[in-house]
Structure 1
Amino acid sequence: MKKILCMLLLAPTVYITAQTSETPETVVTQNGKKVTFFPNLEPAWYLGGNANGALKSIGTKDNFNLPFMTNNTERMTLTTGGFLGLNTTTPQSAFNIVNDNVGDGYDDLSIVSYGDNYSGAIFLNSAKNTKADPKAMDVNTVMGTIAFRGWNGTSYYDAYSGIRGYYMGTKNSDLRFYTSNTEKLRITDVGNVGIGRQDPTVKLDVYNQTAGAVKIVDGTQGAGKVLTSDANGLATWQSPVSASTFIAPQGTNLKLTYDTWNYSKRSLSLSKGRWIITLTDRSFGFAPGATYADMIAGWSSSASSYIPSTLFANGGHTCVSTQAVPSGNKYLNWNYTFVIDVTTPTTIYLFFNISSDVRTGNVSIYNGEGGLYSTAYGALIAQKVME
């Protein structure tokens, strides 16, 4: 037997019709609108929380968007295609936020994390194929983009700046930075940085078609200065100094034995500073039977015996000439350059060591036949470039 209960509410006037537990309840509002719900049938949705287990859904079953309203205005829209829009009823992407004159102080996405070793994060994950069966990406394809685009009166796509991550295979990727819709900087998968260059081969590779590719302003800059570093690699601008040039006199007769260090009678007295040492010469003549020879130069801290100078790596040992000597050719031409930093005034001494592949006797150096022709053929030059 049906029981009908009519109840008059003071204001507003609402009529509630109660029926059996298997039938819906209908609320009639003051303006005649009806709302029907099922209070005793599961699953039902209630304000304050629900306990429907695995059976949970809210939305539409037909081809209509699902809007969400506050203050009688639609604020969020879930389209039939699965796009979600905040402050837009026509979202153009999977998640579309529109800030229409709300102000930069409220823009637009805020991620806050609390706790030890936590931080806000945005992950842009990419793969080929489908979510159910992802496949490895192709090399040199975009993994994700963060783009900044301004409306130029016609389009959002012309004034484009942004960052793109590219998949480079296995565990490798690179980052590419764009302004005015053109790549300007790249960080490769091995950590090389290219400015104006897409294939940097060193840690910093700058390409600029006009003079002045690099500018460093740190308070030490000035016209005519050169960039130099300390022992820790800290670079500052320094004023160059006037060059000092030393030219050794013409050599005297020397008779050298192989595998023996011999003082060349040349030395350099250097003050504190950075020096470039250059040695060029036409060196020596061979004794009979010498068909191949090595001549090695080294710097000593003593004139009486060869003690390798600590200003040079390995004492400055340099094989200044290795050459076959056919009959009638008794001269070798050679040159080498070192850059050294002198911390206290010092004198260094040039030594030579000579060897032959036919070790039947001495290898001789004579004036007139390949002597140390510093004045005629070459020079020993020490140039100071920095205090």
Structure 2
Amino acid sequence: MKILKKIILIVLWQIHILNYAQIGINTPNPQALFHVDGAKDNPSVGAPSPTQQLNDFSVNSSGYVGIGTVNPTANLEINSPTTNAVRIVDTTQGLGKVLTSDSNGYARWTTPSTSFAKLATLPTTLITTPTIDDPSLAGTQFIAYSGAFISLTPGKYQIYFTMWCSPGGPNLADSSVNDGFASVFFSTSSTTNIPPAYLTSIKSVIIPRLYNLQAPASDYYGSGNVAVDITGNTTLYLWVYMSGGNWTAPTGNSIRFRFDPGSYGPYVQMYAIPFEVQ
């Protein structure tokens, strides 16, 4: 008879657990599916106060985990009365580092992105490059590779540049009457225009004429930036397009790039800064 009573009590207890589906540790008054009252200071009736919850651990019916709260509203919610609420020690930690993730979502400590600025490789002398016709566009397109390049690992980058260049060759047009202009763009090739994956609709930046507007071979000088998405180890090459108005004929034309030191130079720079897109 005693054995039967024990069996009945066990069955009733299991039914109770199944009906209420709440387990409390250090508390007879669990507030979630699983509730641990670390300091054993919760009331036996009613909800614990915010202060009493600070030493609690909970898991609700949505699978949300709460530390310092019995009502988590995210997969993991931590409420702490002090700083240093989270500590991750995985050998990558260090002073001033930030928690980031790789492409698979695995977190790691890294140095803030501004310290990862990548400098381009630049020539050190004047370079004159014959123009070629851009095969991706109709008509005669005057483009030339500057000699500057930058190698990037996968990620999203803002590439900044400053460029000083001028048209060259025997067919220069008078800059006071021509409709010439110049723009800077990037290619994944040093021999032809193969655009990288741009993150915005801006794929080139127009640079203005400089000071010698009344003379042939007007200089162009300016700065700008473009955003790119690099999915594999990639080298980007800095190119310049000049409109046909800079010349009087379509052949024998070139572009001169001011990589020389000059009085206040060098005049060309390029670097890339990684960033995240919201």
Which category describes the TM-score, using the shorter chain as reference length? 0.3 to 0.5
Question: Quick check: which one's helix share is greater?
Answer: 2
Q: Which has the larger radius of gyration?
A: 1
Q: TM-score, normalised by structure 1?
A: 0.34
Structure with larger RCO (C-alpha < 8 A, sep 6+): 2
